[in-house]
Structure 1
Amino acid sequence: MVEEAAAFKITHVKESRVKQLDPENIVFGSLFTDHMLVADCIDGVWQTPEILPYGDIAYNPALASLHYGQSIFEGMKAFRNVDNEVVMFRPEENFKRFNISAERMCMAQVPEEIFMGGLKEILKLDSAWVPDGEDNSLYLRPFMFASDVYLGVRPSFNYRFMIIMSPAGKYYSTPPKVKIETEYIRAATGGVGYAKCAGNYAASLYPAKLAQEQGYTQLLWTDAQTHTKFEESGTMNVFFVQNGKLLTPKTSTTILKGITRDSLINIARDSGYEVSEQDVYVKDIVEGIKDGSVTEVFGAGTAVVVSPFSGVGFEGDDIPLPAITEKSISSVLKQKLDGIRKGKLEDTHGWVYKV
């Protein structure tokens, strides 16, 4: 069945696959909802967006994005609140960041009515896929890639924007052990580190693989010039608790401006914690873990939410971190963030967007 809804053309699936969803056993990024959104920008003009049954897409071997890497994405989540309503968390910030990435990668700007309107329409259609459960959510993946069929180094004239969605549970089953990376780099000043582009993640795979072979879950990236200052972790921003104070590296062109990061900073300040966005030096943190002044190191991001680290590896030395308790700052912040998103706590910042 095909119907028109606002500016979106919708083709419904013949039969939903939602029975495949087991909320007790969700593997991140492995099962996708019934529908996907597709919108093409042709010679600078956005065509009517379509919501179609989820499935394969055909592409030409000369597709520009395959050869020259013009590809960006966002990571977002939808939740069920205590009233069983489907809500998103700060989607306007993802929309703004998506177009910041597009500008840096010399790509088309996506209109708000396609990005935000598309999210709302597809979530209405596939709302049954938003799972119940304390750590469960529906992961939303808006992305865009160059769609020119052309072999030549120049920005594409045409782009395809899409949204797909996947049920998500807890990202890490156990607290990650991370390695401080002092050889390879994730991003350099003036580069694309602040953009959520595919190439950033591709470049990180090899050093992450080496670390995993050594028994680590993820990396803690350091600055490209001196390897003395922390930047972020492999899939998240990073926080440190030293002498009861919350520290996080200040953002720059080499660090992604995480929306979870910003939310936690605001929640921490609202809760009376001292927070500092500053240069955080490897030497100070390593010494602080050893002398007990650093009590927590944790990651923060859409997929992981808040993820305390169990230990840190540095120059061949594994340094364990204290066990996290309910009174740990990371635990308190996660509980409050979850409470706001699920409607258990008051949303004083206007972050929650009801679908």
Structure 2
Amino acid sequence: MGKLTITRAQTPKPKFEDVSRLEFGKLYTDHMLVMDYSRGRWHDARIVPYADFVLDPAALVFHYGQAIFEGLKAYKNEKDEILMFRPRDNFLRLNRSAERLCIPPIDPDEALSNLIELVRLESGWIPTDPGTSLYVRPTIIATEPALGVRASDQYRFFIILSPVGPYYAEGMKPTRIYVENEYVRA
């Protein structure tokens, strides 16, 4: 397993004050996990301050959409312990999506270990009111600058965290969806 480096944010962001006003995916924690793929391997796993990425305008993610993501939530129980529901299975599902898009798989055990470190570091961001959680968004994007139609040779895996309230602020209302009948995500 690769070595995880941690660089702490010098200036922490202000945390949410009113949990009832948390919108889904609008506020982000101080840190994120990043790992790159090149020369045939994933490397340089690191927790760094949340910041923008610099990507070449020719990065394959922009032209051919070679990107995947997952999502899960972290909670705290009555004993202030952090709980996540089957996070390793989440990384296995991410790898199934990766296979479909010719993206190299991540090591689910290393990803889980790194996620635990990230969530532990950001535990102060986990809201505890009913209906709230810390949303975890693992993502992989193709970063190689190339305009040819092919799979990338370079990727970035990252995880961002967002304290959230309900997904639909107004409650569950009908949502238009597209139903896929050939591929199963679960």
- Answer yes or no: same fold by TM over 0.5: yes
Q: CA deviation at 1:28?
A: 0.8
TM-score, length-scaled by structure 2: 0.92
The residue aligned with 1:107 is 103
The residue aligned with 1:64 is 60
Cα separation, partners in 2 of 1:109 and 1:220, compared to 1, 3 Å:
closer
Structure 2 alignment gaps of length 5 or more: none
Structure 1 alignment gaps of length 5 or more: 1-5, 179-217, 223-230, 232-251, 258-355
The residue aligned with 1:156 is 152
Q: CA deviation at 1:154?
A: 0.6
Q: Is the 8 A contact 1:18 1:33 kept in 2?
A: no
The residue aligned with 2:185 is 256
In structure 2, distance between residues paired with 1:100 and 1:221: 20
- How many positions carry a matched residue from both structures? 185
In structure 2, distance between residues paired with 1:27 and 1:10: 28
In structure 2, distance between residues paired with 1:177 and 1:134: 20
SS at match of 2:141: strand
Q: CA deviation at 1:171?
A: 1.4
Matches within 5 A, 1:326-341: none
In structure 2, distance between residues paired with 1:33 and 1:16: 9
1:32 aligns with 2:1: no
TM-score, length-scaled by structure 1: 0.50
Q: Please say which structure displays the higher CA radius of gyration.
A: 1
> CA RMSD, aligned part only?
1.7
Q: Is the 8 A contact 2:93 2:185 kept in 1?
A: no
Identity %, equivalent residues: 41
SS at match of 2:57: coil
Cα separation, partners in 2 of 1:256 and 1:113, compared to 1, 3 Å:
closer
Q: Is the 8 A contact 1:18 1:129 kept in 2?
A: no
Cα separation, partners in 2 of 1:118 and 1:171, compared to 1, 3 Å:
same
Q: Is the 8 A contact 1:42 1:159 kept in 2?
A: yes
Q: Is the 8 A contact 1:72 1:98 kept in 2?
A: yes
Larger relative CO (CA 8 A, sep 6+): 1 or 2? Answer: 2
Of 167, 170, 185, 2:166 maps to 170
Cα separation, partners in 2 of 1:220 and 1:153, compared to 1, 3 Å:
closer
The residue aligned with 1:144 is 140
Q: Is the 8 A contact 2:92 2:108 kept in 1?
A: no
